[in-house]
């Protein structure tokens, strides 16, 4: 009965809202660190990060926890909003919301819904392609004796000249190539056994997405606006999560508030810089 009462109460929902929100803040920080390689790293480093995030068992487990947290956080927020409105269906006669509360705190449900829409679109354009589509395999270009040569890079640190690898088994049988590609895997054409694995080129897909001459600018603007929405959501959500958990202390609460404001501004800002850099500079 106690558990049931807790989950059905607004206090219980606020606890879960706070915990999932703080967990998602950790996810944002880790995701940002990986994505910043699009600016400060190399395409290979970013693709190595993408492979690690989609193949490491511990990371995959955390990914599932993240998906569950996002859904729970969104649903919990909607239920809390409905519950609060039912608790006070008629507003005060002399209500002045702009004076009594901040914009972010009054519109957390709307901001959260916009972020959820962004997450869905983001996963469609990147996560789904990484997992389910035939993406190009990462290549690098080197110069040997004054001539440039394109090479596939394997996860074991090896290389295959692009000119010597067939795109599929049929092409290998036609051209006599000894190696062919099946997705991101390299196979011996005669034995038909896997001999190496390449990196999916998510870096190339991301750059093409934001530099597309027809839609790149639009998606860049929408991404930046989504990060502005995220900033407003975090401005209220970060510090309120600690309050919901009862972690208030005269000594630490001001520091948490300052850190929360810095996190809410810096993290979305750095995320927004990535598509801006790709579209206008890279």
C-alpha Rg value of the chain to the nearest Å: 24
Compute the distance between CA of residue 209 and CA of residue 128 in angstroms, rounded to an integer: 14
**How much helix, strand and coil, in percent to the nearest 5, is found in the chain?**
70, 10, 20
pLDDT attached to residue 103: 66
Q: Where along the chain do its domains lie?
A: 2-131+202-280, 139-197
pLDDT attached to residue 88: 61
Across the chain, what does the average pLDDT equal? 86
pLDDT attached to residue 236: 80
CA–centroid distance for 210 within its chain: 15
Compute the distance between CA of residue 220 and CA of residue 207 in angstroms, rounded to an integer: 11
- Spatial neighbors of 212 by CB under 8 A, at least 6 apart, are 219
pLDDT band at 178 (very low <50, low <70, confident <90, very high): very high
45 three-class SS? helix
Compute the distance between CA of residue 87 and CA of residue 225 in angstroms, rounded to an integer: 33
| pLDDT tens profile 96-114 | 545 434 666 667 778 888 8
- DSSP per position, 119-186: HHHHIIIIIHHHHHS-PPBPEEEEEETTEEEEEEEBTTS-EEEGGGEESSHHHHHHHT-SEEEETTEE
CATH T-level fold of 2-131+202-280: 3 helical TM bundles of succinate and fumarate reductases (1.20.1300)
Geometric angle at alpha carbon 279, from 219 and 70, rounded to 5°: 45
Higher pLDDT among residues 131 and 231, named by residue: 231
User: Considering only 117-121, 165-169, 236-240, which range has the smallest mean pLDDT?
Assistant: 236-240
**Residue 137 in this model has a pLDDT that exceeds 80:** yes
| pLDDT tens profile 205-241 | 999 999 999 999 999 999 999 999 999 989 888 878 8
**Residue 204 in this model has a pLDDT that exceeds 70:** yes
pLDDT band at 10 (very low <50, low <70, confident <90, very high): low
Compute the distance between CA of residue 119 and CA of residue 136 in angstroms, rounded to an integer: 24
Percent of all residues in the chain with a pLDDT value above 90, rounded to a whole number: 55
| pLDDT tens profile 32-42 | 999 999 999 99
- How does 49-62 read in b/e, with b if 16+ C-beta sit within 10 Å? bbbebeeeeeeeeb
Quote the pTM value: 0.85
Higher pLDDT among residues 236 and 122, named by residue: 122
- DSSP per position, 52-110: HHHH-HHHHHHHHHHHHHHHHHHHHHHHHHHHHHHHS-S--TT--HHHHS-HHHHTHHH
pLDDT band at 176 (very low <50, low <70, confident <90, very high): very high
The token pair that represents 136 in the structure block: 């190009």
Residue with tokens 């093409």: 208
195 three-class SS? strand
pLDDT band at 181 (very low <50, low <70, confident <90, very high): very high
**Residue 11 in this model has a pLDDT that exceeds 80:** no
**Residue 169 in this model has a pLDDT that exceeds 80:** yes
């Amino acid at each position: 009965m106690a558990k049931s009462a807790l989950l059905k109460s607004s206090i219980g929902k606020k606890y879960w809202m706070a915990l999932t929100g703080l967990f998602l803040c950790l996810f944002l920080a880790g995701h940002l660190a990986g994505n910043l390689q699009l600016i400060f790293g190399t395409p290979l480093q970013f693709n190595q990060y993408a492979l690690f995030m989609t193949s490491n068992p511990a990371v995959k487990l955390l990914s599932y926890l993240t998906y569950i947290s996002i859904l729970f956080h969104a649903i919990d927020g909607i239920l809390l909003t409905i519950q609060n409105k039912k608790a006070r269906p008629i507003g005060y006669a002399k209500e002045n919301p702009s004076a009594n509360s901040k914009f972010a705190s009054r519109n957390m449900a709307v901001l959260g819904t916009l972020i959820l829409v962004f997450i869905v679109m983001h996963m469609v354009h990147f996560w789904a392609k990484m997992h389910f589509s035939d993406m190009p395999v990462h290549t690098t270009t080197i110069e040997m004796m004054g001539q440039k040569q394109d090479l596939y890079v394997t996860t074991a640190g090896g290389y295959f000249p692009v000119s010597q690898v067939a795109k599929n088994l049929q092409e290998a049988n036609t051209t006599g190539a000894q190696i062919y590609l099946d997705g991101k895997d390299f196979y011996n054409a005669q034995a038909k056994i896997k001999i190496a694995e390449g990196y999916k080129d998510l870096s190339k897909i991301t750059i093409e997405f934001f530099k597309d001459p027809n839609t790149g600018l639009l998606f860049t603007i929408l991404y930046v606006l989504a990060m502005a929405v995220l900033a407003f959501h975090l401005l209220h959500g970060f510090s309120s999560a600690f309050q919901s958990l009862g972690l208030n202390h005269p000594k630490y609460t001001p520091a948490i508030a300052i850190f929360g404001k810095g996190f809410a501004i810096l993290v979305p800002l750095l995320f927004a810089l990535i598509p801006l850099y790709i579209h206008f500079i890279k």
